[in-house]
């Protein structure tokens, strides 16, 4: 690719909309010039995805006064990149030998690549063989990921799993005329034998490095790259018009969810922070985390704000939704509102509909976070040794801590989706994230205000500096920094004292009682030193009763002081919920000047 092409035209395609973004070189870096959307055109009557792409790009060019589209496709003056997700992710099935070891690693690899997991199979599956065969046969995935056995380890069992696939005669989602893409990421010693079982006439098998080369090592990168390649070569190419699109695109077209994950991981690496991001869509809820440098993604399918809102009520229970609603709505009214939002998907919500939807968002995030914790775990099957032990039998393998996710050590929380990027409701956005996630200690709260994370994820490999610069400066909108206390006490019992000194020398001091939620004014570009002294029942990140000192920046909601406890009890008094929302309006009282 011509190195003089310093501008980027990037397109993201989903089920309904195709969104084009333009990024160009400026004197001191890169600037995000704007976006334009058009309907996606893979369905009748168009049956050609490039029509929607052209419409989105031409509209963007007219808006910017630039010639972005030529006579035969995108202009040659810039680099053209693309991500795509014309469903909730790549429909995938995974299989391994042990569900909590190789199959679990395969799950993490698939989810990180943007998969919608249809099922997981393993040798220790409790289902009878005939049931497994019938289930495999019925799924029709887009990609099948097969793992199992450490390098030089189990062989016969791996071939048994391959034989199970062959017995099921698994067909691809696009029909019997195509080969099923299979990514094999198991024991390297049996690669040839696996390929003989999964014959070329039925399966397009791609061999990559083992996801668990050793019991104590997980290696997910090659499997994810293999999934991208299989998606590009054997899946996406069958969608109408993609055969033309791939000729224009530089590099692979990867799933939208994978592109989002890539930019979030890069951002966490760049800042050396633990990060948690939630993406609440119309029909799905994605959760991404980076903790101690380890990336994880999970997907709660059919849980969302429009098509999936009734499933939230079904899984969480109507009472769990109602507990977040400050008004006095009846259960019947709430059920009717949920049904109407699902069926009609109104663009403008009434006040009552907005309250119900916001309550449902909190439950969607809570459900998604619970599921995510089951994926974001330490490696299972690792052999533990006590000091002085020379050897331990494999029978002593133990499951370690259930999750690596620690909300007391999560420094950044990000909200994505239409619920979080409404400029009129940023105060509500902050409260939604705090109530649903309940971070502890010191946590920066952001929302994605531009919805171009997929585009920046695609830009990352070509220009990492530009992608991270635009993400930080234009994409992430900071709502504030939250200081939250873990612990419990009686009502109005002192929880902590906070002393804050701003960079211009102003001082603020607060005494916060258990159950209170307060804000202190501090802009997103302003910094302050804080000293927090919790009482002996509470922990703000340094340990129970221990003082915490930190430098923080503010945001739309300033510095948020949350003494509602962790885990948080939801009050039965509706007026308390209203008071919480009101308390996130930054106070305009002047700080105490220094003497």
DSSP states of 362-427: HHHHHHHHHHHHHHS-PPTTPPP--TT-----GGG-----S-S--GGG--EEEEESTTT--GGGHH
SS3 state at 592: strand
Q: pLDDT at position 390, please?
A: 34
Residue 50 is encoded by which pair of tokens? 């490039």
The partner residues of 143 in beta bridges, in order of sequence, read 92
Total count of residues recorded for the chain: 595
Half-sphere exposure of 138 (CA within 13 A, CB side): 8
Q: pLDDT at position 176, please?
A: 63
Contact 211, 220 (CB under 8 A): yes
pLDDT along the chain (595 residues), means of 10: 74 94 89 95 91 97 95 93 86 96 96 95 96 96 96 96 96 83 97 96 96 95 96 89 94 94 98 97 94 95 92 96 92 96 91 94 96 90 46 36 86 94 78 96 95 96 95 94 96 94 91 95 94 97 96 95 94 88 64 41
DSSP states of 267-319: HHHHHT--EEEEEE-SSEEEEEEEETTEEEEEEEET-SSSTTHHHHHHHH-HH
Tell me how far apart the alpha carbons of residues 304 and 284 are, in angstroms, rounded to a whole number: 5
Report residue 350 CA to chain centroid gap.
29
Q: Show the domains of the chain with their CATH numbers.
A: 8-86 (3.30.420.40), 90-238 (3.40.50.280), 254-299+407-595 (no CATH)
Tell me how far apart the alpha carbons of residues 31 and 24 are, in angstroms, rounded to a whole number: 6
Tell me how far apart the alpha carbons of residues 542 and 563 are, in angstroms, rounded to a whole number: 16
* Per-residue DSSP letter, 538: -
Contact 114, 120 (CB under 8 A): no
Tell me how far apart the alpha carbons of residues 397 and 111 are, in angstroms, rounded to a whole number: 26
The set of residues, in sequence order, having a beta carbon less than 8 Å from that of 284 and lying 6+ positions away, is 88, 89, 116, 299, 300, 301, 302, 303, 304, 308
The partner residues of 119 in beta bridges, in order of sequence, read 93
Residue 573 is encoded by which pair of tokens? 């008094």
HEC string for 465-487? HHHHHHHHHHHEEEEEEEEECEE
Tell me how far apart the alpha carbons of residues 303 and 285 are, in angstroms, rounded to a whole number: 6
Q: What is the pTM of this model?
A: 0.92
Q: pLDDT at position 585, please?
A: 67
Tell me how far apart the alpha carbons of residues 84 and 454 are, in angstroms, rounded to a whole number: 9
pLDDT tens digits along 303-320: 999 989 999 999 999 999
DSSP states of 452-466: -HHHHHHHTTT-HHH
Rounded to a whole number, what is the largest CA-CA distance in the chain? 83
Tell me how far apart the alpha carbons of residues 433 and 329 are, in angstroms, rounded to a whole number: 23
Residue 14 is encoded by which pair of tokens? 């989903």
């Amino acid at each position: 690719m011509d190195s003089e092409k310093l501008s980027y035209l990037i397109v993201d395609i989903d089920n309904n909309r195709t969104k084009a973004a333009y990024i160009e070189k400026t004197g001191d870096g890169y600037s995000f010039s704007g976006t334009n959307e058009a309907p996606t055109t893979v369905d009748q009557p168009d049956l050609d995805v490039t029509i929607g792409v052209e419409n989105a790009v031409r509209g963007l060019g007219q808006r910017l006064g630039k010639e972005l589209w030529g006579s035969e496709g995108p202009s040659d003056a810039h680099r053209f990149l693309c991500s795509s997700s014309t469903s909730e992710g790549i429909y995938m099935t995974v299989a391994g030998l042990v569900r909590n070891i190789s199959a679990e690693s395969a799950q993490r690899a698939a989810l990180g690549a943007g998969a919608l997991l249809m099922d997981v199979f393993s040798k220790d599956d409790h289902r009878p063989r005939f049931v497994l065969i019938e289930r495999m046969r019925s799924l029709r995935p887009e990609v099948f990921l097969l793992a199992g056995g450490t390098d030089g380890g189990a062989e016969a069992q791996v071939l048994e799993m391959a034989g199970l696939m062959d017995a099921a005669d698994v067909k691809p989602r696009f029909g019997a005329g195509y080969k099923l893409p299979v990514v094999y990421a198991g024991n390297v010693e049996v690669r040839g034998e696996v390929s003989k079982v999964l014959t070329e006439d039925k399966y397009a098998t791609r061999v990559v490095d083992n996801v668990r080369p050793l019991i104590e090592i997980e290696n997910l990168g090659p499997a994810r790259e293999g999934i991208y390649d299989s998606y590009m070569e054997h899946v996406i190419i069958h969608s109408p018009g993609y055969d033309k699109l791939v000729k224009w695109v530089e590099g692979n077209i990867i799933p939208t969810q994978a592109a989002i994950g890539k930019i979030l991981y890069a951002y966490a690496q760049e800042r050396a922070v633990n990060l948690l991001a939630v993406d609440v869509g119309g029909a799905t809820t994605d959760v991404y985390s980076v903790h101690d440098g380890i990336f994880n993604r999970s997907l709660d399918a059919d849980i969302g704000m429009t098509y999936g809102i009734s499933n939230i009520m079904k899984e969480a229970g109507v009472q769990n939704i109602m507990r977040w609603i400050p008004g006095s709505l009846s259960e019947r009214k709430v059920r009717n509102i949920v049904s109407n939002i699902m069926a009609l998907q109104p663009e403008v919500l009434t006040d009552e509909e907005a309250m119900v939807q916001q309550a449902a968002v909190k439950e969607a995030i809570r459900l998604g976070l619970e599921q995510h914790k089951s994926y974001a775990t330490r490696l299972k099957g690792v052999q533990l040794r006590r000091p002085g032990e020379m050897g331990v039998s494999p029978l002593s393998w133990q499951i370690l801590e259930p999750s690596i996710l620690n909300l007391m050590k999560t420094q950044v929380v990000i909200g994505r989706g239409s619920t979080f990027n409404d400029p009129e409701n940023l105060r509500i956005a902050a409260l939604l994230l705090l109530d649903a996630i309940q971070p502890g200690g010191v946590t920066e709260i952001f929302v994605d205000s531009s919805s171009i994370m997929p585009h920046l994820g695609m830009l990352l490999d070509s220009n990492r500096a530009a992608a991270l610069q635009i993400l930080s400066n234009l994409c992430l909108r900071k709502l504030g920094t939250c200081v939250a206390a873990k612990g419990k006490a009686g009502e109005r019992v002192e929880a902590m004292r906070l002393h804050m000194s701003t960079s211009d020398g102003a001082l603020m001091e607060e005494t916060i009682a258990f159950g209170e939620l307060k804000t202190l004014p501090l802009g997103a570009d302003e910094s302050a030193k804080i000293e927090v002294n919790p009482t002996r029942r509470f922990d703000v990140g340094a340990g129970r009763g221990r003082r915490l000192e930190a430098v923080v920046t503010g945001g739309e909601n300033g510095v948020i002081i949350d003494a509602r406890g962790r885990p948080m009890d939801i009050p039965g008094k509706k007026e308390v919920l209203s008071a919480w929302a009101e308390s996130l309006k930054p106070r305009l009282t002047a700080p105490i000047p220094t003497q």
